[in-house]
A and B are shown apart, each in its own frame.
Chain A
Amino acid sequence: MATTDPPIRLRRPLAARVATSLRPALWVGPAVALIVVVVLWPVIVLVHSSLQNIAADGYVVGGAGGRNFSTLWHEPALKGVVLRTVIWVVAVVGVTLLLSLALAQLFHQRFPLRRLARTALIAPWAASVMMTALIFRWALDPNVGAVNIILHALGLMHRLGSNQSDWLGRPGWALVWMMVVAIFVSLPFTTYALLSGLQTIPGEVYEAARVDGAGRWHCYRTITLPLLRPAILVATTINVINVFNSFPIIWEMTRGGPGYETSTTTTFMYILKQSFIGEAAAMSVVNFALVIVVVLFFLKVTRWKEQVT
């Protein structure tokens, strides 16, 4: 704020000053408006809906106070759904991270056709998640699925069309296969995030460590991983949010399974929405709060501010 004006000069009229000061809003305005309309306003409507009594055809009958939340709390399926969601997120994000660390390390080396391999890695990310889930569902078909036919040919599957070959009919195995699909579609992004992190680590650090006599595994543990922390942080946060909200994989493969036996909180909310809109809104509010809490907790624990500055 350069004070080029002489101190005795009168200030400009208020209207002019307001107009000038609002000029930055012209640049910031559209982005802020977008955030308000697309993010904030739906959240407000969501919380409002969760406190209403809404009939199954969409008519707002009146206020419901906390009744939607208490009905949700007493749903017998809720405990299983929440437990399954925790297992789903932890397993998918954890395995994705481990595999991506390995893949990023691999793609960091020089080998022939590396560029081609790196480009091919984008395919699961670029393909529609719903299509990937559908393809896997057909591959797991008890009678004609590709996976079952291969297993049968290898002698690992006794009979096609049996209980054993109906992977998606058994809630436990259905969850495992859905996690496989989720990991498959999460790998590209995580690998690329970690790869770019690896590429920012200067080579001199490794030279210095080697001069001091550090072994390869020791190098990895004490140099690579700590320096990768920002990238791991970003990848994990985004993965947790995406996997928690993941809908197409579960919906296309089992529709939440017999009853709610393969549902996570997201598909549970969607199934509830068909008949009990207020309760589904309450579940959405809980989901939203959960994901914010998890991300904030994660960021606090890893002291993210220190990484960024």
Chain B
Amino acid sequence: MRQRLFATAVAALAAALAVAACGSSSSGSGGSGGSGASGGSTTLKLVAADYGTGPSNTSAKYWQGIANAFHKANPSITVKVTVVPWTNFDSEIQTDVQNHNFPDITEGDYFSDYAQQGLLYPANQVMSDPGRLLGVFKKQGTYNGVQYGMPFTTSTRTLFYNKKIFAKAGIGKAPTTWAAVKADAAKIKAKGYIGFGLPLGPEEAQAESLLWFLGDGGNYQNAQGKWTINSPQNIAAFNFLKGMVSAGDTEPHPGTQDRTPLWEQFAQGKIGMINGSPALVPIIQQGGVLKSSDWASVPIAGKSGPLTKTLGVCDNVAAFKPNGHGAEIKKFLDFAYQTKYQLQFDHEYDLLPATTAAANKLSSSPLYGSFIKALPGSVQYPSDTAWAQVKTQVQNQIGTAVTGNPTSVLGSLQSTAEKQGSQ
């Protein structure tokens, strides 16, 4: 009798607990309400990508310097800096957003579907003068006619080649067509080096693929905004790459190789040619193997001639709404985008600025001048809201196209993109 009473009482308690748990499991959309900005201190959460190659030049140092200077000027606002490596950046931000653990400011990749969901502040609400940003990158951060993604740093891509290896392999000048690339890579391979460094691993496969698409006049989308991932030009580009891979002209298994390790191998003098950006320059200098006369950068080779429009990549700052810190974010962004900080970042990581003022300051620099001149005519990633998810799929899957069947891999990416767009 006593045992039965115990069992009943426990069951009643358990049921009460279960009902309470189910009731509270549906947390409301949006995070905790905005903090009281009037009086009392505010903390801004800044999540930035790491552009450094090690602890000595990690981006955390750059951002912490700005955060400290900002805190001195605005004692009631503290900025908490978190820096994430590029390979993890997307999944980290996406996981945080999925868990409703929203940051205040992110710097790195930009997700236009967050603008679609109303998670982001428009640029004109968190920046006194969005017009100071380079106009060519406005479209990729715009959704429904309003700019949400603010460029922070930019770069353009060129073909880097190792002059010493070229001399050893008996190659006179840098290649300008795909056929020349293949021939040169084969000669370099015969000398025991890697002919062409092809990073199709998850870090930045979307950039490398686009450079080859552009070579044949292809792209992720056409001018009307329709997805063209499996267009004949793109498939032709990957068939060419597949040929190079099976001939051994590239490093083994490009689908598993990321950009940063391959750039480091180029800096060690092991690779003949690789597509790079100004950010490759400090890696070469730190490697200590190649002198500045041992390498050079030229326009990227296209199918029948060098590319006239190269890929212009910009990394964006996005300001998140759910924590309600709009006013503080505006103060911080106005502070952080000063020309001196833009130039500091560009000198540290050999990238290009995102404000017109800073770009003008650098346009006559011997190192940056040609890259800056290429910026206005550069090609961007799609500004479609489905791009964030398509990019993730491309990063994970496109490496299999050079060992498998490009038509089916690009076709499945195309159908994923169309499915995303229709949701």
Contact = CB atoms under 8 A, between A and B. Distances in A.
Nearest to A262: B256
Contact of A24 (B6, B111, B251): B6
Interface residues of B, number: 49
Nearest to A48: B25
A165 B252 CA distance: 9
8 contacts: A20-B2, A36-B18, A41-B25, A58-B98, A59-B29, A76-B412, A161-B270, A168-B256
B392 interface: yes
A256 B6 CA distance: 50
B153 to A, nearest CB: 24
Contacts of A170: 253
Give the most central of B94, B392, B412: most A CB within 10 Å.
Answer: B94
Main secondary structure of the interface of A (DSSP, over half): loop
Given A1-B2, A18-B5, A254 B256 contact: yes
A165 B194 CA distance: 14
Interface of B: 1-2, 5-6, 9-10, 13-14, 17-18, 21, 25, 29, 90-91, 94, 97-100, 111, 113-114, 117, 119, 192, 194, 202, 248, 251-253, 255-257, 265, 270, 388-389, 392-393, 396-397, 399-400, 403, 409, 412, 423
Interface stretch (A180-188, A219-227, A271-279): A271-279
B399 A259 contact: yes
Interface of A: 1, 17-18, 20-22, 24-25, 32-33, 36, 41, 45, 55-59, 76, 142-143, 159, 161-163, 165-166, 168-170, 254-259, 261, 271, 274-275, 277
Contacts of A32: 14
A240 B142 CA distance: 50
Contacts of A168: 256
A33 B10 CA distance: 11
Contacts of A143: 265, 270
Contacts of A56: 94, 113, 388-389
A165 B13 CA distance: 61
Contacts of B194: 161
A274 B90 contact: yes
Q: What 8 pairs between A and B have smallest CB-CB spacing?
A: A169-B253, A58-B98, A258-B255, A259-B400, A21-B6, A166-B252, A163-B252, A21-B5
A169 B399 CA distance: 11
A252 B99 CA distance: 24
A36 B15 CA distance: 11
Contact of B9 (A21, A58, A166): A21
A79 to B, nearest CB: 15
Nearest to B101: A58
A259 B255 contact: yes
Contacts, number: 99
Contacts of B412: 76
Nearest to A168: B256
A106 B14 CA distance: 50
Give the most central of B10, B113, B248, B409: most A CB within 10 Å.
Answer: B10
B9 A274 contact: no
A258 B10 contact: no
A275 B394 CA distance: 12
A266 to B, nearest CB: 16
B21 to A, nearest CB: 6
A41 B25 CA distance: 10
B9 A271 contact: no
A22 B399 contact: no
Contacts of B2: 1, 17, 20-21
Contact of A55 (B18, B21, B117, B202): B117
Given A45-B25, A163-B253, A58 B97 contact: yes
Contacts of A18: 5, 9
Contacts of A271: 396
Give the most central of A24, A162, A274: most B CB within 10 Å.
Answer: A274
Contacts of B192: 159
Contact of A59 (B17, B117, B397): B117
A216 B111 CA distance: 68
Contacts of B251: 161
Given A18-B5, A59-B29, A142-B252, A274 B94 contact: yes
Contacts of A20: 2
Nearest to B398: A259
B299 to A, nearest CB: 28
A274 B265 contact: no
Given A57-B113, A258-B403, A25 B94 contact: no
A255 B202 CA distance: 9
Contact of A17 (B5, B13, B90): B5
B9 A163 contact: no
B6 A275 contact: no
Give the most central of A32, A57, A166, A255: most B CB within 10 Å.
Answer: A57
